[in-house]
Amino acid sequence: APEAAEKPGLLGRMFGRREAQKVVRRTVDDDMLESLEDLMITSDMGVDTAMRVTANISESHYGKKLSVDEIKAVLVSEVTRIMEPVAVPMPLYSKRPQVVLIVGVNGAGKTTTIGKLASQFTAAGKKVVIAAGDTFRAAAVEQLQVWGDRAGVPVLTAPEGSDPASLAFDAMTQAEADGADLLMIDTAGRLQNRSDLMEELAKIVRVIKKKDESAPHNTLLVLDATTGQNALSQVGTFQDLADVSGLVMTKLDGTAKGGVLVALADKFALPIHAIGVGEQIDDLAPFDPEEFSRALIG
Ligand code: GDP
């Protein structure tokens, strides 16, 4: 989006806009390194990561005179290097149905992401079934049905307030009977009552395992890029609640650059399976480390 492209990244904020960047050369000294480190920290990349990247740049470039473009290239390559190992698409197994649990706080983009994934997997020839596991929010169930219709995928529901674990169990039976390749199970995301949610997720997992010891095969945590640093505590929380196997970060189409993904990569090393880049069904992209780094640094 042109509007997002106009938003300066980390270096844009340090050196001003493009014209100035072309001509000026700056010495890589303590002042510059400190400014870079500050910018990385305020971009949510995390203190440890910022310090390490700064140390690397110091080691390779201290005392050199660099143009802003050259500084940018150095930073982009450092950040790309950190992000490359976590840029991993969601693994697909021969297991049928492959059970994918979707977790995350309300509003993060779970419903939307499930719809987008259902559409992508369907296009790839997979038979997909969705289970509306947030049985306590009627609106969430309706929304998921809308997305199911869009993706042309059945959405299994249960009466409002009924046990999500029973729905998950029934959904597995149904998915198996239908010969589905993938069963995506939505879950509740009300963190206000953590012990309830923990209980609920644990029960879903327990019941799923009665059908298939190896399930759930993936547990995707959906994170909202606009919540910045908050993502760090959310990953910690959901790792306690469920065995998170991968991340999807939504809303990277706006002004949020998702710098926290760098801190997350450093701290948790969880694979980033995809990113949300809009509200439409096709707005789910693979995570591209270099493109991400350029947008963050630029
Ligand atoms: P849930 O409560 O976790 O299921 O969240 P929803 O899927 O209902 O999404 C919450 C809001 O975020 C909705 O208005 C979505 O349209 C919006 N949303 C989700 N993903 C994206 C994205 O990648 N980009 C943008 N711009 N909006 C998104």
| Separation of alpha carbons 264 and 160, rounded Å | 35
- List, for residues 204-250, the tens digit of each pLDDT value: 999 999 999 999 999 999 999 999 999 999 999 999 889 999 999 99
Q: Is 97 in the pocket of ligand 1 (CB under 6 A)?
A: no
Q: Confirm whether residue 187 is marked as ligand binding.
A: yes
Give 106 Cα–ligand 1 centroid separation in angstroms: 9
pLDDT value of residue 23: 63
Best mutation site among 142, 143, 279, 282 for ligand 1 pocket (most ligand atoms within 8 Å of CB): 279
Atom of ligand 1 nearest to the CA of 140: 4
Q: Confidence band (pLDDT; 50, 70, 90) for 21?
A: low
Alpha helices in the chain (DSSP H): 2-6, 10-15, 18-23, 30-42, 47-61, 68-83, 110-123, 138-151, 164-177, 194-211, 230-241, 260-268, 289-297
Q: Confidence band (pLDDT; 50, 70, 90) for 1?
A: very low
- Confidence check: pLDDT of 2 > 60: no
- Confidence check: pLDDT of 107 > 80: yes
Give 108 Cα–ligand 1 centroid separation in angstroms: 6
